[in-house]
Structure 1
Amino acid sequence: MNTRMEEELKCPVCNRFFCNPVLLPCFHSLCTVCAVQVQDLLPPIGQQHQQCQQQNTAGVSCGNPISSGVLDESGAGSVVGSESDLPDIDKLSIVSETDSGVICNSRPNSYIGTPGLGSIFFQATQGAVFSLRCPVCKKTIYLDEHGVQTLPKSCVLESMVEKFSRGGGGGGGGSCGGPGGQQGPSGSSTIIKCQLCDDETDCNDASCMCEQCEIFYCDACRDRCHPPRGPLAKHHLMDPCQGQILLKRSKVKYSTCNDHVDEQLSMYCMICKFPVCYLCAQEGRHINHEVQALGIICKVQKSELSQNLQSLSEKAKSGTLFIQRLKAMTDRVENNCTEFQKSVIHKCDELIDSIKERKQFLLESLNDEKEVKILTLKEQVSHCTSLLQRTTGLLQYSIEVLKESDAFSFLQISGALINRVSSADENFNKEMELTPRISPEFELAFDNESILHAIQTMDFYQMKAPGQPVIITEDCSAENNSVTIAWQPHPSSIVEAFTLELDDGNNGDFRVVYVGRETICTVDGLHFNSIYNARVKAHNHAGESIFSELVSLQTAEVAWFCLDRDFAPPDVIFSENNQSASCRSFGHRVILGAVGLSKGVHYWEISIDRYDNHTDLAFGIARFDVDKRSMLGKDDKGWSMYIDDQRSWFFHCDNHSTRIEGGIKQGNVVGVLLDLNDPEHSLSYFVNSRPQGPIAFTDLQGVFFPAVSINRGVQVTLYTGLQPPACGEI
């Protein structure tokens, strides 16, 4: 039998294998001898009331006239049998007229109400003589004058202990336990003791058993109490182990009722949760209780236990697999440690190599500085030496001239010589450079404190998934069709990158708009008049954080923009902060607005500041990649109305349509209305606030840029952020 269940077969009091185990109402088991040792005799009823009054006088709450002070599992003081010491269901069970005095987890059908707890405990314990506190769950059980003898035997547990002992349990085998037996530790044989030795503490080992007397004898007791003569001569003596097996086989197969010893336990009380006989159900304590056949309930209980065992077995299997994973992880720890050590060694070697390279670089720089200083000083020495030689030669020459005695000869060269000496004297200090050109000292400093500190504090850090980032709402903003989101990482988190997500402005799905280490991001090209929700998360090698709280930003209701200077043709001239434009070319040039439109209603106007030569102007919308060196509407990426001083046409894909009388002149204003909220997604035109024909274009899908095409002799100015004309005006 598996030794893993050995602890299940040991008594919680003596910590030895169960011997004649009894079953408590709390479903824990004790050896019969141990149960007798832990049961307490209750004081008489009068003393119980007196004790309760004394406790009440001392300020101790007492709901049970027979309570006694004990310590619970936590060491705190409590009152055994008090109201706080019993579960609610136990409190309700003790008012049953059929209660045996043992508090059971049941609620009989005869329950009619809950009287005062003092009277309840008084009634419930009137017949109680003994109390027993379970050493496992600490519940208190009240017993009648028979005490432990009223508790049922745990036949299954006794049988399992016998099988475990016979099978060797922990490795020993061959011997069996029984009356008078002492159980050794796991792995040792169970020794059967003599049942008639006078000294119960030092009984001799049994040498035989009488089959008729069913008593185990040692040699001395056999000779004294069971001599082989007279009637006893016919008794059969056998080996103690064989006798133990015979006793087990000769036991009555069916259990009998304690109250009706001639009746077998054939039914099960569903209220008291206890096997009963036929008479108990008809006229005994369990009358009017719901009962079922013992075999049926046994089958049901076995089925339920099997299902629970199957569930527990699956969990035990998963626990076994988990333990195997843990054991396998030890090898991974070794391998990972080796790999990590290699990584540490590699990184430290890189640091050492880098320091060596830097050391070489610094030494080479120092040597270069030394060579420069030496070369500079040598050049200055050479220069000064040369000057000094020339000066010395002039001095010697002048001294020799002074020795000339002929006045005429002296005066021939004295004037020039005086000028040379005077000039040499005047320029000597300047040419000699009496100050060194370079200092011999190395005016350099080498600061390694920060590097030393970094090396000395270099250590491992625990890599774990970063915490939730926090969006800084006061630094977030929305301008035109752009939003700016700022955030900060969770304190003490190590972050390698952030991921910023934005929805579609209509509470739709989120999409990634930025991944990087920065903590601020601006997203352009969004829809106007839309509310965007943004969220951010952080991640590193260990994992990623949960998303931050959402921040909602609303873009501008109407578009404010200027003309796009960056992508305009080079012969277009801009002014007024890119709101006005003119052109040097005779050919048409397309100029786009600086913002793309894909949603909402947008209206802008263009004033004609200069209009010469009665040329055609075109106003409308275009894709970003429209041909910018031809009239707007010439290709399939432009939609326009081109107009002169007399009439206008709608123009797209080099096709014009809908001629409308009425042109423009200098000072007029052309309005463009792009309605992308209307189901038709339409484009309409106005001249001086009056509609210029019907709706020009419909079914416009995608992103469009405001556009105008002009040529030489024309200047226009753009006005944006205007409210669309009312329906009556159109």
Structure 2
Amino acid sequence: MDEMEEELKCPVCGSFFREPIILPCSHNICLACARNILVQTPDAESPQSSRASGSGVSDYDYLDLDKMSLYSEADSGYGSYGGFVSTPTTPCQKSPNGVRVFPPTVPQPPAQQHLLPQPSSLPLIPRNSCITCPQCHRSLILDDRGLRGFPKNRVLEGVVDRYQQSKAAALKCQLCEKSPKEATVMCEQCDVFYCDPCRLRCHPPRGPLAKHRLVPPAQGRISRRASPRKISTCTEHELENLSMYCVQCKNPVCYQCLEEGKHGTHEVKALGAMWKLHKGQLSQALNGLSDRATEAKEFLVQLRNMVQHIQENGVEFEACLVAQCDALIDALNRRKTQLLTQVNKEHEHKLKVVRDQISHCTVKLRQTTGLMEYCLEVIKENDPSGFLQISDALIRRVHMTEGQWGKGTLTPRMTSDFDLTLDSGPLLQTIHQLDFVQMKVPAAPMLQLEECCTQNNSATLSWKQPPLSTIGVDGYILELDDGNGGPFREVYVGTETICTVDGLHFNSTYKSRVKAFNSSGVGQYSKTLIMQTSETHGKCKHPPV
């Protein structure tokens, strides 16, 4: 019942309806709220023949009423018309639902208040007052009866009372003087809720009250709801009960209304018969609405299950993505290790070559330096004969040593630069282009029966992808059998979704089916469609739906 609560609240004050009245547009509003949103219109703008607010306007008679909407503000449909009223305008307030609420209009001087005697429960309503429905924004000029012309919605009032009772706390004893205790029983004859002490004191089990029936409080509340309500009386003739129903005005009327001739040309039926008829119509309408509500509940269950599946699939897909990226990172690290090993080998090779050259050059330099020092000492000798004995050999040796330092000896055998360049461009481009690809095959296509037909010895078939399918399709494959129950054969492969096959046999029954394919593979077949070719030329047949 909690879902019904919004239906039981006034659109102006946002609270539960209190003394609701029915506007001609079939919407409801509290009587007090109706007084607050009354707006006085200029005399010059009022129509010559004011319409009765409750009886003279049908549910669809808004041609004249819509003219009043020019007075309404664009945001809410209500406005204060200070330019047409002699009294100053009153600032408006806002209800909990955001509807603008105006305080009651200031009454006119006493000279204008003798038109129609008003009950003490309703304040005097100025002439040419306008009320606008807060839900559909239909405007209406009130007649001399004012708000009394609107019928009271006693059914809605009863529903609100029952709803509030059902939402109330535990039932209390009605005879406890101070701090009422929780009731334990209810007497159906006394219509009183008792606690145990009050029941023993005021409703003894012996004597005249022994025959009274005591029931649990919850059951007693239900019996109270089922008790007959007060018979409704006519709004115009307060002493007359409503016993008939005017079909044109769509309002209950009394016999005096009929005698006065207000509904003389209207179709009038018995109130009880129309009550049963409308109850039956409402029950039938509720059956359809109940079916839609059941479908909506099943759809919500499907959506909730889909949410759960999406969450589960999201976690699984995220874990798969992380694993794939980790595998790529591992492969990159392994390749990095291999490349680093190659760089280390090149590094060691270069160092070995340069160090060998340094060692060789160092030995030769030491030998050359020793030879030079020896030759300098020989030159210092003053003995000519001894010098000439060894001079020729030393000269040859010096020339030989100089020749060993010939071209290329003092050139490095290895450069310090590494001749290795990592070609990472294609890999970086591949990483940047790394994206999700379609890994699922297409869903089974849906045959469009309204567009499939046979004419003479040809058959035309049309199909489409399921509405919620997001899987890409590269093409379709259409298959037909041989017309005698034989195997299927491919008759069309392409991207079109309609195909006409010619050259079939007359008066033959063919079975057809279609499937979709993409880069991931071929999907499932559609439902098999049975088609009958024409017996003779000139006939067109559609397959049964």
TM-score by length of 1: 0.38
Q: More helix per residue: 1 or 2?
A: 2
User: Between Structure 1 and Structure 2, whose CA radius of gyration is higher?
Assistant: 1
- Larger RCO: Structure 1 or Structure 2 (Cα < 8 Å, ≥ 6 residues apart)? 2
Q: More strand per residue: 1 or 2?
A: 1
